[in-house]
Amino acid sequence: MANINLSFEEMWEKIIACDRKYDGLFFTAVKTTRIYCRPSCRSKKPKKINVEFYFDLDKVEKAGFRACKRCQPHTDLSPYIRLVQNVVTFLVNHYKEKLVLQDIADHIGISSFYLDRIFKQETAETPRTYLEKIRVDK
């Protein structure tokens, strides 16, 4: 999976908002506790200076961090989590381009109907509304 193009500040905002759409795209590692979490973890938020972000599960574990027992970032919660993560990564990396649902579906390798249905089932919004939110955030 390609790295998502988010700044430290943007990732910080996502963990403060407990945004579950970014789960699996990056991990929040806390230097003082040596624990890493999903962006959506509801545990007490760490001090900003104690946070590092990782895009790969293996790298965060090799760096000596252990998984949070509350959000269990090392387990997949849904069979579609990878699909949603790939869509979100694509949208974040291509938000400046004129995109239609078929462009996203072609990149992911599934039909546009299936993409729209699964994305809405997992995130409660369509890829189009999600893309609009990314554009507003940027």
Backbone angles phi, psi at 72, to 5 degrees: 45, 65
- At the top level of CATH, the class of 81-137 is mainly alpha
Share of the chain above pLDDT 90, in %: 57
- Same fold yes or no, 8-67 and 81-137: no
Q: What is the pLDDT of residue 76?
A: 67
| Annotated catalytic residue, options 37, 41, 68, 71 | 37
Cα–Cα distance, 39 to 88 (Å, whole number): 14
Q: What is the pLDDT of residue 1?
A: 47
In 1-100, alpha helices (H): 8-16, 57-62, 81-93
For domain 8-67, the CATH superfamily is DNA Methylphosphotriester Repair Domain (3.40.10.10)
Q: Which one, of 120, 3, 83, 107, lies nearest residue 99 by Cα?
A: 107
Question: Would you tell me the crossing angle of helices 112-123 and 127-137 to the nearest 10 degrees?
Answer: 60
> Is 41 annotated as catalytic?
no
The structural domains of the chain, with segments of one domain joined by +, span 8-67, 81-137
Per-residue pLDDT in tens (0 to 9) along the chain, 138 residues: 456 778 899 999 999 998 888 888 899 999 999 999 999 888 899 999 999 999 988 999 999 999 998 888 887 666 677 888 899 999 999 999 999 999 999 999 999 999 999 899 888 889 999 999 889 988
